[in-house]
A and B are shown apart, each in its own frame.
Chain A
């Protein structure tokens, strides 16, 4: 081996390649045409970086590193392969929390070891430690909530005050360590414990509807924590990848919050987004039920149909049935489009993933801005398990919690068919004025069964 080709140079060169692959990969992931190749590029980058790290000078404990990698990889591979597409948001939360925990663990090892030299490095390690720990425990709570393991949103008076006190305590302990005043075992351990508790108590009061924004926020935080620990370890790949994710994640979080017409502060510090809010504003009119056979005829002879899927479709796992129904209509020459609200499902883009799983081509799917003008010319708007995202009170009723949220203008269609399991209010607990309109008919039943009935009805039309 020539002298210039040291292990260090090989490592640095590989990390450089990895950083390039990550950025190119993310860039490719931002267009549907190239998205698939994007993850392959990023995956190649990860493989290169991981393999070369075994050559790190003065590494020991291989007997621990390899088994830990194997256990983590196998568990994640197994769970990632079998999770249903509907449960994707909480799996992202789980894997993200693991990354945050790993960043906190790096901080812990370096700080307990006294391996950080100088105030700057120690401060960065402490900062990455607290952010990683909050992301770890917070993501775990988010996972628990979406998975249905934690069903209540714990709220009590003075909760914000408690969170502030916890934050202050974590920062104080962290400052003691960073300033080199006291980095004893007790102070360090207290620091990490308080940070973990802070993540839990911050996330517990946040309602399920806001969880996507919170998961996205923790994703950005984990990125930042990884970047900070990258500075501590002088690891360029971690600095670049972590920072890129930190800023990209922050932007994504803002986009999501904006799509829900909520500010980030609102999500973190107020209680809305949970069920149980009283219905505001009186809704006049009555709910008018309709039979599946009548809907079948209406759909079969329509020129233009816009389908609005919501979480109800996802829960019933009805995306395949609904696509079968839509294919029948397309074969009959019906002009059919899917309209997706930015927050349909549990996360922006989640509904697109579910439809893609069923085999719906993405060029039949339109987002809010593209489709909203078209409702006026549609013969039928078929609402499947969507509620708040088509509620016209968001346009008119200033007292409504969802006032100002951009909605799909399904009420402008000539006929509105709502497939819905029961007569309850939506996720936000708000009565939906759309259901009471003169041109609206309700088809009660779970989306899976209703879809099957409609297929029968349309076939019967011949």
Chain B
């Protein structure tokens, strides 16, 4: 893949795949016009981070649609690299780069919502780590759903997910409510009868089904046939699976109306306070990212780890092995690897927290710690390799 260098391109072009290969960048004409317009008004601003912040603040304060599309264009490369890494790590489960890319970019809004603009970190660093965890989590879910029976899957789905999947099917809210009640009765009445067989739960027998319809009757003062219970539950299960494997459409490139950027005419006059804000934030970010001190703090924390923990870090971040592969290589249990890694991460986060409290006099919040922890993934990645 060749990277984009031109600021207009960075905010107006989208990745194209040819099967699993990078094919090129396609331009969205509307975004290009919008970007050109902005640059003409503030030609002195040429850093991609400035414009990323600009669009982020617009998106954040007004849920502006075109701002969101600019950010989607901006984060294409970052998503590509996160996908390339995941495709490499999970090569043995047959997910290729473009599959991973689709999965990650579909959750693009989650990145924007999770980002804390006041944290002093760059959107790009946060997004890389966030895309990576989205891919990992979706693959985990697909893997688990694939090995569940229909009935096991129904037990192992949250109510929120069920409602979302049924909405996606286009059912009315009333139908959804009654399906959710059937499903809840199913979960209450039908439980696994063995220590560890929740995945391969068999079809409930007739007695259980009639108990479910009875429970439904008590709850709603209406009746439902056992056969209908089965139909409803099978439909719920099908919609849950479908939700996890959405049909890939070509709408990764957004289509927005022309009217959505009429505000641009007023940019220079009304947006002054916004611009000042951005400049301040950018200065803050530069300050934080240029603090070689933070690197020193973390690097020295890593040096203080024992040899095996350092080795685990190296295998995980530099070699890109899974925790399972690491366990095999070091001949320890998977739990051990998992626990060591989280412990190490905690140690590093603690040295950051101490440093920012004592040296920087930053008052820490849970949000800032969470963002830091995410960005630290990215940092470890580059530090270890």
Do A and B belong to a common assembly?
no
Please list the residues of chain B having a beta carbon within 8 angstroms of any beta carbon in chain A: none
Please list the residues of chain A having a beta carbon within 8 angstroms of any beta carbon in chain B: none
